[in-house]
Amino acid sequence: MIVRKIGVAIGTLFVVVTANFFLFRVVQTDPVAAVYRGRNLSEAKKAELEERFNLNGSKLDQYVGYLEQLSHGNLGYTLNSQPVSSEIAEKLPTTLKLVGTTTILTAVIGIWLGIRAGWRPRSKFDRITTGITMFFYSTSDAFFGLALLYLFASKNPWFPTGGLIDPNSTATGLNRILEQFHHLVLPGTVLVIGYLGQYSLVQRAAMLETSGEDYLTLARAKGLRDSLVRRRHAVPNALLPSITLIALNVGYTIGGAIIVETTFSIPGIGSELVRAAKGPDYALLQGIFLLISAAVIAATLIADLLYPRFDPRVRTP
């Protein structure tokens, strides 16, 4: 089972690499001319740049060259002559601080809300929490972010309006880390509150489905308290859908939150992706999308391998 799942993951990654390469070349544009517009590039210089950025030759030649680069762990160079891996490594920690932290908080709080709401459907707690989380889940991240900026940064300057640190800051060590998290409070709030409904709704549906199972009736007939029935029998069997959702969201965490990072001027992977798309910077776009895809595939593979630990029924002989 493990070998088969790993093989499927590798095959999926190869398909993603191929689609990733040809996707951006559907756009009929000249990236070199777009970046160096206004400059008098000679034909020789242009040919040199196209060779450096693997833009010369046919699409098949470029594809073969791209695979050779990847086989050596080389993601290529941006149109600003910077290694793609260095650009990603510089922006990734910021995204992990923002989206990684909020993903953990959202999953923990959302699953807890879903368990409580699903165990007592149509209760006051269920109606209130489901209504509120669905309202914010259906609200645009950009609108929610701008509203928080107006209320807590512009009108009442309790939090910074954007960026990761103050331009004139001289803080170091722990103080610098605390300052960064101070800048991430508002964008983090948008991500946590905005996506609670995703986890709570999935977990609530799983609890409703599980609550009618015979083994819960048997557990109650044995005299177990309702809280023990929920914690020991219902919740473990209702966690599988949430595990899948967590795995997917952990993978997408690498890609950052494009709208939130743009709204709050956070220099993360999401903002870098927007900048690369304006080029278009093929190498940087390919590198970021490959990173996101590989993270999603790896997280999904880990979730598949963990399933038998939570539910022996999914084991294959």
Per residue in 165-193, pLDDT (tens digit) is 887 777 778 888 888 888 889 999 999 99
Q: Give residue limits of the domains in the chain.
A: 2-71, 85-310
The string of pLDDT tens digits covering residues 228-265 is 888 888 888 888 888 888 877 876 666 657 888 888 88
Q: What is the pTM of this model?
A: 0.79
Q: Say whether pLDDT at 28 is over 60.
A: no
Among 34-38, 63-67, 91-95, 201-205, the range scoring the smallest mean pLDDT is 34-38
Q: pLDDT tens for residues 46-67?
A: 677 767 666 777 778 888 888 8
Q: Does domain 85-310 have CATH number 3.10.20.30?
A: no
Q: Which residues, 6 or more positions from 284, have their beta carbon under 8 angstroms from its beta carbon?
A: 78, 79, 84, 87, 272, 276
> Looking at the predicted structure, is the pLDDT value of residue 130 above 70?
yes
Residue 270: closest CA among 148, 91, 101: 91
**Over residues 151-162, mean pLDDT:** 82
Binned at pLDDT 50, 70 and 90, residue 35 comes out as: low
Place of tokens 């966690």: 239
If you ran DSSP here, which 8-state letter would residue 311 be given? -
